Structure 1
């Protein structure tokens, strides 16, 4: 989707960059209009990405020097990307600068573009942002080939950030970069990457059905679209058989190989920086992906291989242990309460996160609280998945359904503005009221049920519920998780 920018830029600060970036978000009405056409594919996406790149001074071949790891999947692709980046970061002498591009962000949009594990600074974000912005303003596209690229138009939010990441990593002289696909693979804006070093596919599941299809086969076809000739592809073990078959077909079509990665024996009981037993599969995949890069870069004499008993170097283990990835099986202690935070928003990820919470707190005698939101997917189904996964070992005493609005003022944190939901539904608490009724149906009257219009009020409610410590499970949306962390940040500086 092409967005015509309505702003007249006054300054070029980080705040100005975020304001301009937010103007590129697709609004809810446009998304719904496209859905009504029934068209899942936009074959112009990659052609337009190549054209936008040309206008900011690059061809796709320029990005080959970034030695890219390209990762897709339904569950765990962000964690796998973080693990891979952290392993590569242990080899600073040979690879001094490692780029990481992921989505979505939690607190700040800068989290999407990281170097050596850290979000780029506000100053660098603003600098590179306006270099891309201004180049687009000063160039044009042939309207006979790109009729939507009228003068003054800009790519949409995610596409612009993808362009910005390429520009940033090249300017910062990154020696290798890890790219997480946004949605799918075949027509994702990151798929203009022509020659990745290696590709990875995490566990497949049903998600983004409007864009990717209703069956695991259709989804696997889209995910396999990132495969490239000569770039080996790897996937986790215990992949859904029908999806795995399609991935293998796609690998054959793209003249490459697809190999299943087992959970390495050394990782069965290793300490990982991201909690959750299911992360061992993602960590194993990351080990193989990083090994491919390090071998190609002449850092390792030979590849690690995929034998379960393979000997994993200490630097790899250190990288896995030191990985930091907020919002995924994260535990925070605040005063006497313990917060268990995971932005799970698909069936598989919800089951995994809920199981992690259940196994972690089932022996705890503390009161149990659920804080939940999911504004755009099938929230009722996710709540049912959650309830089934924790019961009967964990019974919630209180459940709170909120929106992703950050503050009591009705505003969002600037980096968390979202125009991709129905504003009317948010204001009327339509989803939240439906969820509290659904909870009553599945849980009876055991838990007290609450609805709050924003995250700040939800946090205040939790603080007032008990005079004793509680275990609080926060899940359903990364936007909810990000907003809560922003609320915590403000409280911590008071």
Structure 2
């Protein structure tokens, strides 16, 4: 038998996107079964078959984060802060132990060693951009291919060799064939990796919702966090912000603290959050004023004014977490009435050094794409399209010397959103913001599929089996987008050249060709948005990162 490879692991993983055996087993239960409850029960059962009890995961010291937008960025900010407290074994105290800076001045600081330390930080997020390994990180880096291969097949083989009681778990039959679906498998894999790698702080981003999400088997997180809420995933969470709030607060745990953004867009959810916190026995509920919690002078590693809300929540999440681990209160931030009056230097450095590709990312004048500036954001909800479009407008129009230089640049949109029912609504919102007074219209609008290469192949880590191949090949969604954009243009008396391409590589090559007919003084500003899957494939193409 030949040795299994990383490509074998990815091929096996991709079968779980359209896992026929699992879907068929669930279908046989009929329509009157609460399938949401089954989904979370299955995670408990799969981890049991791997030899774990839920209480075993308490040693990971989990920070659990949900919300409608900004989960990944907040997780990245939190991880970047906490990495400043990693003990590398060369000191009796944490590396760069926290000094304090008054949040309203450049003031004095003192240094005090904490009582505790962190050795390994795990981060679990979704989706990935270029490689699935990005979802499971340790101390800032995706696990390498050899570790992914090893742990992937440890889980795969153990689940193939163990059984579930058919009476209690009819959806998991036959036990040797039925495997968790894609996201669930990766969640279970992350627990296995973090346990065996000795992770002692783990940050988990919820996939969808909260109550029934695959990550929600943690009994005693050190802290839970909820970002800005909005209307999304209505087919699973309900079509009101109240039902969505109830589901997302399902990550609250008895005896554990929670941190919540102040919900400026839906203030009516705050009383419900407070009620749910009381109902579920939360030990402490902190509400952070997203827009004003951080002083203006603080620098962030992620672009976009909206990131200040995510950063503010991350500061309090990290602070509460460190307190739970035994760090001295004098080494932690101080929050008063939702605003920080004291922030340690390590926190400030962590915020400034945060990196998170695909979110308000700028790639300017890359050598092989001379005179092209790429503005990249995986915005795929109404709220995120809103803030990303505003960010792009701020970056490319305005009165600063930098934006004035871009006034004559050619502007191009590269967009796709293959899977959402309200995709044309997202496109409408984008059009509305870009063409608002003071804005500047796109010269070209390109609608592509998420297929990576011009030969029709996906990058192996980006294979999508959830989209109809026929719909993709016939460019059904892309034609709808072009028609929608045309109607919006007509309503405002605008005219954008529209293009439909079958793959990302062809789209990028076309954009590159636009510079051929431009004077040497002009550049091209490209806004890539609508889907993290599109952004991931785009970054692969931009780096020519072929399998």
TM-score interval, normalised by the smaller of the two chains: over 0.9
* 1:291 and 1:300 in contact (8 A); partners too: no
Q: Paired residue for 1:328?
A: 359
* TM-fit CA distance, 1:38: 9.9
TM-score scaled by length of structure 2 = 0.85
Q: Paired residue for 2:414?
A: 371
Note the alpha carbon deviations across 1:43-70, whole angstroms, 9 max, x for none. 1122111110011111110000000000
The 5 A counterparts of 1:221-370 are 221-239=246-264, 240-256=266-282, 257-263=284-290, 266-302=294-330, 303-307=332-336, 308-333=339-364, 334=366, 335-363=370-398, 364-365=406-407, 366-370=409-413
Partner Cα distance (1:315, 1:121) in 2: 28
Partner Cα distance (2:287, 2:294) in 1: 17
* TM-fit CA distance, 1:12: 2.4
Partner Cα distance (1:268, 1:200) in 2: 23
Partner Cα distance (2:411, 2:41) in 1: 50
The higher radius of gyration belongs to 2
Q: 5+ unaligned residues in a row in structure 2: which ranges?
A: 88-116, 399-405
Partner Cα distance (1:106, 1:360) in 2: 23
Cα gap change, 1:41/1:217 in structure 2, threshold over 3 Å: closer, same or farther?
farther
RMSD: 2.1
Residue 65 (structure 1) aligned with residue 59 (structure 2): yes
Partner Cα distance (1:248, 1:298) in 2: 27
Q: Paired residue for 1:123?
A: 146
TM-score scaled by length of structure 1 = 0.94
Moved more, 153-162 or 291-300: 291-300
Moved more, 111-120 or 301-310: 301-310
Residue 46 (structure 1) aligned with residue 77 (structure 2): no
Cα gap change, 1:38/1:340 in structure 2, threshold over 3 Å: closer, same or farther?
farther
Match of 1:462 among 499, 511, 519: 511
* 1:206 and 1:214 in contact (8 A); partners too: yes
Partner Cα distance (1:67, 1:421) in 2: 37
Residue 382 (structure 1) aligned with residue 426 (structure 2): yes
* TM-fit CA distance, 1:42: 1.8
* 1:267 and 1:280 in contact (8 A); partners too: no
**Secondary structure of 1:42's partner?**
helix
Note the alpha carbon deviations across 1:4-63, whole angstroms, 9 max, x for none. xxxxx95322111111111111369969x98x9698852112211111001111111000
* 2:62 and 2:203 in contact (8 A); partners too: yes
* 2:123 and 2:204 in contact (8 A); partners too: yes
Note the alpha carbon deviations across 1:376-400, whole angstroms, 9 max, x for none. 1122100111011122312100000
Match of 2:4 among 9, 12, 15: 12
Partner Cα distance (2:500, 2:15) in 1: 30
Moved more, 92-101 or 279-288: 92-101
Moved more, 244-253 or 83-92: 244-253
Note the alpha carbon deviations across 1:68-104, whole angstroms, 9 max, x for none. 0000000001110111111111111121210000000
Partner Cα distance (1:356, 1:457) in 2: 26
Partner Cα distance (2:382, 2:469) in 1: 25
Note the alpha carbon deviations across 1:83-126, whole angstroms, 9 max, x for none. 11111111111212100000000000000000111101111111
Match of 1:25 among 7, 14, 17: 17
Q: Paired residue for 2:105?
A: none
Q: Paired residue for 1:159?
A: 184
Partner Cα distance (2:303, 2:34) in 1: 35
Partner Cα distance (2:353, 2:35) in 1: 39
* TM-fit CA distance, 1:271: 1.6
**Secondary structure of 1:178's partner?**
strand
* TM-fit CA distance, 1:161: 0.6
Partner Cα distance (1:460, 1:315) in 2: 43
Q: 5+ unaligned residues in a row in structure 1: which ranges?
A: 1-8
* TM-fit CA distance, 1:490: 1.1
Q: Paired residue for 1:4?
A: none
Partner Cα distance (2:476, 2:219) in 1: 44
Match of 1:399 among 438, 445, 461: 445
Partner Cα distance (2:537, 2:256) in 1: 38
Partner Cα distance (1:241, 1:258) in 2: 16
Across the two proteins, how many residue pairs are aligned to each other?
483
Residue 80 (structure 1) aligned with residue 86 (structure 2): no
Partner Cα distance (1:321, 1:373) in 2: 31
* 1:40 and 1:210 in contact (8 A); partners too: no
